[in-house]
Amino acid sequence: MSKFSSWINAARLRTLPLSISGIFVGSAIAAQEGYFNLAIFSLAIGTTLGLQVLSNFANDYGDGVKGTDNDERIGPARAIQSGLITQKEMKEAMFVTAATTLVLAILLIYAAFGGEKLLSALIFFILGVAAIVSAIKYTVGNSAYGYRGMGDIFVFIFFGLVAVYGSYYLYSQDHEFTSIFPAISIGLLSVAVLNLNNLRDRVSDEKAGKFTLVVKLGEKRAKAYHYFLIIGALFFFLMYSVTSSSELNDLIYIFAFVPLILHLIRVFNNKDPKLLDPELKIVALSTFGVSVLFSIGLLW
């Protein structure tokens, strides 16, 4: 495998559509109300992709250094685990990605607020720095919160609430409290991907001392939690539709939940963690599909 291919694999491109789902939803709500700015949209997408790639690099580095990525792990081999990328190279890549993401975040804030609303700009700058630090600290360092079962919180906040509600505010500089419903939905679906990943790796994570929420809950309760995440996401999308939508086409996002419901049936019947690996792509792409159909429904 070439060095370039190794970096592409380390970036985990299959996770990227999931990461921008919240930006699509927040942007669609703003656009429906007459707020849209191509510069804000582009920079928000770039910043979110940067955060996701940084998180993937940091996860590879943190789990590789701690020995969590080993021969017992079910998923695809990681870059440091396989020796294709050195620890020093990954640290340098994390630094470059973090710096690039911070620059994009600053440009995004300037595009949204200019030299006005300095308090709002400061709040979003703090959120940007917090997101970068959180992406790194998920598995890196002795106090990595992903090893204490707190990764779900980070994903829910930054890829759900901040991505949807935050992006809406960047366009409108106003509050639309009903948009919290789809923000919760995207957050729950994003957490579902992490939960499924941890269900797949539950045995090897526990042996390596990585006490994810799945390890703490156990397989049975972690599956019940997974059902709650998917069904809860549908519930909060419907809550938004009931309170805000006026036309039937606004509900076309429901079609994207069909593969998610079928996915829940397979998770319920699952006995072999290896079979959960392809389900990750299904949940991630279905979440992206939900965001696209939701956006089309609003703007159609």
> Model confidence over 52-78: pLDDT tens digits?
999 999 888 888 777 666 666 666 667
Q: What's the alpha-carbon Rg for the chain, to the nearest Å?
A: 19
The Cα 131–Cα 52 span in angstroms is: 10
Examine the pLDDT at 128 and tell me if it is beyond 70: yes
Each residue's pLDDT tens digit, 153-199: 999 999 999 999 999 999 999 888 889 999 999 999 999 999 999 99
Q: Give the pTM.
A: 0.92
Q: What is the pLDDT of residue 75?
A: 61
* Residue 56 to residues 15, 137, 151, 260, 263, Cα–Cα distance (Å): 9, 12, 13, 24, 24
**Residue of 72, 24, 15, 66 lying closest to 44 (CA atoms):** 24
Q: In the structure, what pLDDT confidence band is assigned to residue 141 with cuts at 50, 70 and 90?
A: confident
Q: Do residues 94 and 136 touch, judged by C-beta distance below 8 A?
A: yes
Question: Can you tell me which residue has the tokens 């059902």?
Answer: 227
Examine the pLDDT at 94 and tell me if it is beyond 60: yes
